[in-house]
Amino acid sequence: MKTTDSKAGYFRRFQTFVINRMGPPSTVEKDSLLYWRARILFAILFTGFLLAFFLVIPIIPFVIKEKLWGLAIMDGAACVIVVSLVLCRLRYEIRAVITLLLAYAIGVGVILSVGPMSGGPAWLFAFAVLTGVLLGSKYAIVALSINAITLTIMAWLITTGRFGQTFPFFYTSEAMIIAIANFMFLNAVAAISVTVLVKGLVSIHQKEKDLSSTLEIERSHLMKAKQELEIEIEEHKQAEQALQASEEKYRFLVENANDAIFVAQDGVIRFPNAKTEELTGYSAEELNKIPFANLIHPEDRDLVVENHKKRLKGGELPSAYSFRIINRDNEEFWVELNAALIIWEGRPATLNFLRDITPQRKIEAQLQQSQKMEAIATLAGGVAHEFNNALMGIMGNIELLKMDLPEDEGRDKYFDPMKSSGHRMSRLTDQLLAYAQGGKYQPKHLKLDDFMIQTLPILQHDLSPAVRVETHFEKDIPYIKADYAQMQMVLSAILANSNEAIEDEGLIKVTAGNEDLDEDFTKQYPGLKTGPYVCLTIEDDGKGMDEETRTGIFEPFFTTKFHGRGMGMAAVYGIVMNHDGWIYVDSELGKGTTVRIYLPVSEIEAEKPKKAKVEVVRGSGTILMIEDEDVVIKVTQTILERLGYRVMVAKTGKDAIHIAETFDGRIDLALLDIKLPDMEGGKVYPFIMKARPDLKVIVFSGYSIEGPARKILDAGAQDFIQKPFSIATLSEKLKEVLKGK
């Protein structure tokens, strides 16, 4: 079976090869008549090519016997022509004409060689029929005419005796004519019939081909329509899936949003998400029945309801605004509302996005309070600076006057109260500077529990006998870096407040312990950093404070009927903040007050305090005093000259720089004020040091050491002294710096 299929495949390829050599394949395929004629011609040539060998064998003996060498040559030539027609590249028309002429020639040759009573007429018969098949009816008539002429000529030649006397033929001329007429009639009928038949078959084939082509076109159209329909169905399916996925995503987003999302219509809440239920404390069913106005704080209710009505009417409103709501548990929240006008179920409504901003509001309030405190602190620092300069004039002149007058008990009874009042005013400025985050700080590393144990017994003498103090300190409390005196001020002010808040008998609890503050905690208090802290807690069971009093307690001039409130707590705030700490007061009326102070841990061991030397020490050398206050200049210059120093004065920064650059002599030390009329002391310092690299500098100012003074010290200045200062303190400081201690 496989061998047969293989042979058939070879034959079809050979057939295609020969037909393609008759003309362009596209032309043959498009012309059905040419297509079938080409196939018939191929069949004729291929059959003739195969049968030629079988016809030659029986002819050879006959040709030899009869010595028909002309017939042999003609047959051989015919075989060669057939083979050439099969293999060579010729147009169909030329190939067809050659084939027909070959058939005609063979027929004539056979008749001339053997006689009319042979196969020659059959060849002529085939010549006419094949002409009609291969070339059409017109050429078939021509072929029939050629046959008629040929047979007529041969008959005339034979009857006249000019040719073929030895061939058997008809006995009479009438019989010959009748035979020729019948032959031509049959030949014509056959040729024309076959031609018509071929045309009919080709026509049918063409119709089938056209129908098949039409069906193929329709089929392609249907396939295209089917594909388009499938694509449309797939796109519709994908669109539905995308819509479903989008709906699921939006539902997921709405249900899991951090904001409350709902529709407000007919005065109630519809389609609330989970956050709405969580924020209000009501279920979706309950919200659908409760007027949403009931959830709004009474003070904000009219505003929100009026805005909602305006929005439903298409009025212009802010894109977002804030108000308060009250939940099911009567808790108050600050919220921010973003709303848009929509059509919900065919009627106007608003789509609302409600965000809980209560934590932000608390932080904003704390930040505003902090900024307010900073502004007041700046003012307090300026006041303290000017006050210290004035005190310098008073205290310095008192000491100079005391030095000029002879020692006398009557004298001292006036000087000592003046000096004591001056020191009292100095402590007041210390409190102002402490509040201004400055203060005359000398921070040391100390343990808070040891500090409390040493300080509490002293401060308890100022408390009411009916007030008990209990303490509890954790073991191994780490060191903190703090100013001993300033921490005493903090503890004294807080205990005084607690004592005044307790009207009869009461209790003050003082505790200290370690706490590690994380980010969640520090976010609630701007400026507070994460890390380990020591927490000092002072709690009393007094009458407590209302919210207004609690929020104003750290303002420097805030007062209540309790004398302990006011500047004391303001100074406490400044001291704690300047120690990089944080202070928080929690209080309610009738429930007492709790003060918590957080101070950062220091890992450095405690330093032993040095004993202050108060003896007046004389010296020598040249001192450049850079100061703009006349009172301070006069008293300080007098003190320095009394101590044995030569003094040069510069009232501005430019004057100081000029003296440093141009003075032809040695300047041993400069007293540099921070606040000058033309430039800051910190900007003067590098210029005078550039002019005199060996110059020693003491910063002296009415401001604290922390701030601009610290920057000058960090830049290389040797020491700091705060106004007002005593003669002994100044003399000791000069001695230490000039000797390089």
Report residue 611's pLDDT band, with 50, 70 and 90 as the boundaries.
very low
pLDDT tens digits for 352-401?
998 888 888 888 877 776 677 667 666 766 666 676 777 776 777 777 76
More confident residue, 298 or 131: 298
- Per-residue pLDDT, 613: 43
Q: Among all chains, which residue has been given the structure tokens 């329709």?
A: 218
Category of 671 on φ-ψ map: left (φ > 0), alpha (ψ -120 to 50) or beta: beta
Same domain, 594 and 632: no
Same domain, 633 and 686: yes
Q: Is the pLDDT score of 712 beyond 80?
A: yes
Return the percentage of the chain with pLDDT > 70, whole number: 68
Of the three residues 324, 356, 388, the one that is the final residue of a domain is 356
Structure token digits, residue 375: 């502004």
- Per-residue pLDDT, 699: 92
Q: How far apart are CA 108 and CA 101, in angstroms?
A: 10
Same domain, 481 and 518: yes
Same domain, 582 and 637: no
- Whether residue 507 contacts residue 525, with contact meaning beta carbons closer than 8 Å, is answered with no
483, part of any domain: yes
Q: Among all chains, which residue has been given the structure tokens 């040391």?
A: 444
3-state secondary structure of 669: strand
168, part of any domain: yes
Same domain, 521 and 646: no
Sequence-separated (6 or more) residues with CB below 8 Å from residue 426:
388, 391, 395, 724
Of 54-58, 124-128, 184-188, where does the model show the most confidence? Answer: 124-128
pLDDT tens digits for 660-669?
999 999 999 9
pLDDT tens digits for 16-29?
655 555 554 445 45
Same domain, 678 and 581: no
The residue range of the domain holding 712 is 622-738
Same domain, 208 and 312: no
Cα-flanking dihedrals φ and ψ of residue 41, to 5°? -60, -40
233, part of any domain: no
More confident residue, 294 or 65: 294
CATH number at residue 733: 3.40.50.2300
422, part of any domain: no
87, part of any domain: yes
Q: Quick one: which of 122, 128, 78 has its CA closest to 100?
A: 128
Same domain, 579 and 639: no
Same domain, 577 and 634: no
CATH number at residue 270: 3.30.450.20
711, part of any domain: yes
416, part of any domain: no
Of the three residues 309, 340, 356, the one that is the final residue of a domain is 356
Same domain, 633 and 575: no
> What's the domain count of the chain?
4
Q: How far apart are CA 259 and CA 71, in angstroms?
A: 113
- Per-residue pLDDT, 431: 57
- Per-residue pLDDT, 608: 46
Same domain, 202 and 277: no
Q: What is the pTM of this model?
A: 0.41
Report residue 50's pLDDT band, with 50, 70 and 90 as the boundaries.
low
Return the percentage of the chain with pLDDT > 90, whole number: 15
Q: How far apart are CA 445 and CA 492, in angstroms?
A: 20
Provide the H-helix boundaries in 67-91: 69-87
55, part of any domain: yes
Same domain, 598 and 629: no
